[in-house]
């Protein structure tokens, strides 16, 4: 939709031979024409602010409205006022649909200026803009309830009914191409108006922990997969769930079991093996055996259960796309909303493009996973696309608190943060001691000592592929 507005603004600029700017009725910038003149006065403070901040101040709005633009049905000429930051005369073309003003097109006026015929042709273009704005306003006017119902509904007939209601409200747009965006945390009381964001079909706030109470993360459109997770390592896991969590992580590791073990044992010895050869001597096997943890459930204290219902609020956005590989409308909306919600502390995720509404629940899972990944790994953010988050696709889909497997629980305590970081960097560098030591800025012997402490705390053997995979997953998942 934004592309449609830009094309119409460019058409107006070419028709009148002056740069045009389109704003909504709240003076929010929608699109603007290129300015290639050497005349610096054309970029006066009002126009510059409108383009850079995408809005005008209340004082500027009141000043322009004082010329009756909200009531006008045709072009309105507005004289320059340097004291107000308006250095050039302007022409305002009201954008109306069925008698209701929906926005304004602004033109810089100069002698001799556009002819009456040109202005009449320009008003015909503004009528087309008005139709687009009206369609967008109708589509996004009051769909938060319908959109939220889809994201929080139980699978089955409840979900199908929620999708049908949203499809009916969206009309023909429902079968178009969309992307779902998640912005979190969203600490404002309400969602912004959909009409203030070009291309947005619907948006709503979603409480993390809302939705079905049973089933894994893969079964819930918007429940436990959201950023209700506490960011701090060592916090909360399901009481009595150690066996299940360890089994789940080990089952995933098992898929790479034989090959991982072979990789760990073949070729050059790993850093862990080299370390033990230098320091453990003949007692190494016995020492490793002694370090193995007790069976899960036997004298292993359970960590406190995390309350996912108090994870806060996220903003969900449904954005129209023109093609499956053109994510600009979704990325622009995500970044604008993220910035307005708090900037550095807020992340956003964008799901894969889909046609129609049937898979909105899956798209919401993707968007929340991408937002969580952006928060966990700064190189992905602050706005991350599902297609770019790599292993976090799988990690975000694991049951809550997989990182609190008894084997890694002690390592993830705040007092062992440096050891956990060392282990993660070591595994990120495929167990190569030289690269790891260089990345951490430490001596190899210091690295070997830290890795031996990691083995002591976890009971895991860093020469064993499955143990390394379990530890790597747990460390990555702890960020979520």
| Residue closest to 366 by CA, chosen among 254, 473, 226, 463 | 226
Q: Taking Cα atoms as reference points, which of 339, 367, 315, 2 lies closest to residue 180?
A: 367
Map tokens 């031979």 to a residue.
17
pLDDT, one tens digit per residue, over 393-439 is 888 777 666 556 778 888 888 888 899 889 888 988 888 888 999 98
Crossing angle of helices 444-458 and 417-428, rounded to 10°: 110
Distance, in Å, from the CA atom of 351 to the CA atom of 339, rounded to the nearest integer, reads 19
- Provide the pLDDT for residue 63: 82
Digit-coded pLDDT (tens) for 98-130? 888 889 998 887 777 888 999 999 999 999 999
CA-closest candidate to residue 196, choices 337, 343, 8, 323: 337
> Could you say which DSSP state residue 142 is in?
S
* Cα(327)–Cα(455) distance, integer angstroms: 44
Q: Cα–Cα distance between 257 and 20 in angstroms, integer?
A: 63
Respond yes or no on whether the N-terminal peptide bond of residue 216 is cis (omega within 30° of 0). no
- The confidence score (pLDDT) of residue 243 equals 34
Contact 196, 336 (CB under 8 A): no
Using the structure block, give the residue that is written with the tokens 């969203």: 186
Residue from 402, 408, 395 nearest 369 by CA: 395
Q: 181: which residues sit within 8 A by CB, 6+ positions away? A: 316, 317, 318, 319, 330, 333, 334, 337, 348, 349, 350, 351, 367
- Check residue 242 and give its pLDDT: 36
| pTM summary value | 0.50
CA distance from start to end of the chain = 34
DSSP labels, 39-106:
-GGGS-HHHHHHHHHSB--HHHHHHHHTTTTTT-SS-EEE--BGGGTB-S-EEEEEEEETTEEEEEEE
pLDDT at residue 316 in the model? 93
**Range 61-70, long-range pairs (CB < 8 A, 24+ positions):** 61/27, 64/27, 64/92, 67/92, 69/94, 69/101, 69/104, 70/25, 70/94, 70/101
* Pair 236, 230: CB distance under 8 Å: yes
pLDDT in tens, the chain (480 residues): 555 888 999 999 899 888 888 988 888 888 887 655 555 555 556 666 666 566 677 878 888 889 999 999 999 998 887 776 677 888 999 999 888 888 999 888 777 788 899 999 999 999 999 988 887 766 545 688 889 999 999 888 889 999 998 988 888 888 999 999 999 988 877 777 776 778 888 889 998 655 443 333 333 334 333 333 333 333 333 333 333 333 333 333 333 333 333 333 333 334 444 444 443 433 333 333 333 333 333 332 233 333 333 357 899 999 999 888 889 899 999 988 888 887 678 999 999 999 999 999 999 999 999 998 888 888 887 999 999 988 888 887 776 665 567 788 888 888 888 998 898 889 888 888 889 999 899 998 999 899 998 888 888 888 888 888 888 878 877 776
d(CA 355, CA 357): 7
Q: Which two tokens stand for residue 78?
A: 């507005």
CB distance 57 to 86 below 8 Å: no
């Amino acid at each position: 939709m934004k592309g449609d507005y830009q094309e119409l603004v460019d058409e107006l600029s070419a028709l009148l031979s002056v740069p045009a700017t389109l704003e909504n009725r709240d003076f929010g910038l929608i699109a603007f024409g290129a300015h290639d003149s050497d005349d610096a006065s054309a970029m006066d403070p009002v126009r510059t602010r409108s383009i850079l901040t995408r809005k005008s101040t209340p004082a500027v709005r009141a000043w322009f409205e004082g010329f009756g633009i909200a009531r006008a049905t045709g072009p309105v000429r507005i004289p320059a006022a340097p004291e107000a930051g308006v250095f050039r005369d302007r022409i305002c073309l009201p954008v109306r649909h069925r008698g209701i003003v929906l926005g304004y097109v602004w033109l810089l006026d100069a002698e001799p200026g556009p002819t009456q015929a040109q202005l009449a042709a320009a008003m015909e273009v503004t009528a087309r803009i008005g139709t687009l704005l009206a369609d967008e306003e109708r589509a996004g006017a009051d769909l938060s309830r319908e959109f939220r119902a889809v994201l929080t509904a139980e699978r089955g007939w409840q979900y199908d009914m929620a999708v049908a209601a949203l499809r009916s409200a969206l009309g023909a747009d429902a079968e178009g191409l969309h992307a779902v965006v998640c912005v979190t945390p969203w600490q404002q009381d309400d969602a912004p108006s959909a009409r203030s964001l070009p291309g947005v079909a619907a948006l709503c706030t979603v409480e993390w922990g809302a939705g079905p109470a049973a089933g894994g993360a893969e079964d819930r459109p918007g429940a436990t997969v959201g950023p209700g997770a506490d960011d701090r390592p060592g916090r909360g896991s399901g009481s009595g769930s150690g066996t299940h969590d360890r089994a789940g992580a080990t089952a995933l590791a098992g898929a790479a079991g034989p090959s991982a073990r072979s990789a760990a044992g073949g070729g050059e010895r790993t850093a862990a093996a080299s370390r033990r050869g230098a320091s453990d001597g003949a007692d190494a096997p016995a020492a490793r055996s002694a370090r193995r943890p007790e069976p899960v459930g036997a004298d292993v204290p359970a960590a406190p259960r995390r309350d996912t219902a108090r994870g806060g609020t996220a903003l969900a956005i449904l954005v129209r796309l023109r093609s499956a590989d053109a994510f600009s409308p979704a990325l622009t909306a995500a970044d604008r909303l993220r910035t307005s919600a708090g900037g550095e502390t807020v992340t956003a995720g964008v799901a894969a493009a889909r046609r129609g509404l049937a898979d909105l629940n899956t798209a919401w899972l993707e968007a929340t996973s991408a937002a969580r990944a952006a928060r966990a790994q700064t190189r992905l953010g602050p706005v991350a696309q599902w297609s770019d988050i790599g292993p976090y696709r799988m990690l975000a889909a694991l049951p809550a608190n997989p990182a609190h497997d008894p084997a890694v629980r002690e390592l993830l305590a705040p007092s062992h943060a440096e050891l956990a970081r060392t282990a993660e960097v070591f595994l990120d560098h495929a167990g190569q001691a030289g690269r790891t030591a260089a990345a951490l800025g430490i001596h190899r012997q210091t690295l070997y000592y830290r890795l031996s402490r990691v083995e002591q705390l976890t009971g895991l053997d860093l020469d064993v592929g499955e143990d390394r995979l379990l530890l790597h997953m747990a460390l990555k998942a702890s960020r979520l």
